[in-house]
Amino acid sequence: MANYFAIFLVVMTAVTGLIWLIDAIFFAPERKAMALEERRAVLGDDTITKLEGEEADPHLPMLVDNAKQFFPIFALVMVFRSFLYEPFQIPSGSMMPTLLVGDFILVEKFSYGIKDPVFRTKLIETGEPSRGDVVVFKFPEDPSVDYIKRVVGLPGDRVVYKDKKLFITPACDQRPCPQTAIAQEEVGKTDFIGRMNGRLVEYKETLGENTTGILKDPNERDAISRYEPKQPGTAYNEWLVPEDHYFVMGDNRDNSEDGRFWGFVPEQNLVGNAVLIWVSFEFERQPEDFMPTWVPSGIRFERSGSIQ
């Protein structure tokens, strides 16, 4: 849906701009000349050489007038959304506690390269994801769907997730490369409920320069990867990140369909870096409530701010 909207913006910008341009070159000068002659005839004054404002083009067609009005709007929205920032809504709890259902976020589109809005070809290099970044990307198995997860593995990393703990072996020149156990510190039980109706436990985890909260369900076993084909030299729940790819996971570790299940995110699928929660709505309505469930029941003002 997001890609269709991008195509719509490009098409409407091109169409309205083309209508305005063609009229300005081929038709507007003749209309303005006729309007000038009409004004001279009405006033009986041949010294008038120029008309201003609406008088300059009183016979402006409605189609051209609308094109002139809407072209700047379409162009501005297209540039802002395609190259600067794009809004997204969080639809699921896979990134709790960092992001909740009802959070509306801004994604910085130029963080990982400036791309054309239709074919997503990179035009200018601007940077690469860092470990711990929260990224929006096109789902590799269905590029029409946008996903949001946290970058865990960079190109060349060997990632292991065992007993609900994360181990990373970064690419290095020496052999064997040293493995790093990602630091975790238990914070305590939360109000969030898992699939087994037990309370989830929050931990603080440090990935690169980012320290963030993650959730674990003590009643759930480790998920087993279904990524096929298995890479040579890797075991279950072990992944060797290919060149120009990234390994991502959700912060709600036992309730996230992420790279453990379907593999890696190609670099060209990256949309941008999630940087800000600009508003957060609650949708806690009961079936007997008068208002429909899609109408917010409240605003979580305290959640507005940067995303860690």
Q: Which residues are catalytic, by number?
A: 94, 149
- Please tell me whether the peptide bond between 29 and the residue prior to it is cis, using omega within 30 degrees of 0: no
Segment (H or E) for 192: strand 184-193
Q: Name the CA dihedral angle for 164, 168, 169, 171, rounded to a multiple of 10 degrees.
A: 150
Contact call for residues 16 and 74 (beta carbons, < 8 A): yes
Q: What is the spatial distance between Cα 249 and Cα 151, in angstroms, rounded to a whole number?
A: 7
3-class secondary-structure state, position 95: coil
Q: Please name the residue that has the structure tokens 């470990």.
A: 131
Segment (H or E) for 86: strand 85-89
Q: What is the spatial distance between Cα 266 and Cα 135, in angstroms, rounded to a whole number?
A: 12
Residue 207 CB contacts under 8 Å (≥ 6 apart), including other chains = 131, 132, 150, 151, 152, 182
Contact call for residues 9 and 77 (beta carbons, < 8 A): yes
Q: What is the spatial distance between Cα 299 and Cα 283, in angstroms, rounded to a whole number?
A: 9
Burial class (CB in 10 A: 0-12, 13-18, 19+), 133: buried
Q: What is the spatial distance between Cα 236 and Cα 160, in angstroms, rounded to a whole number?
A: 9
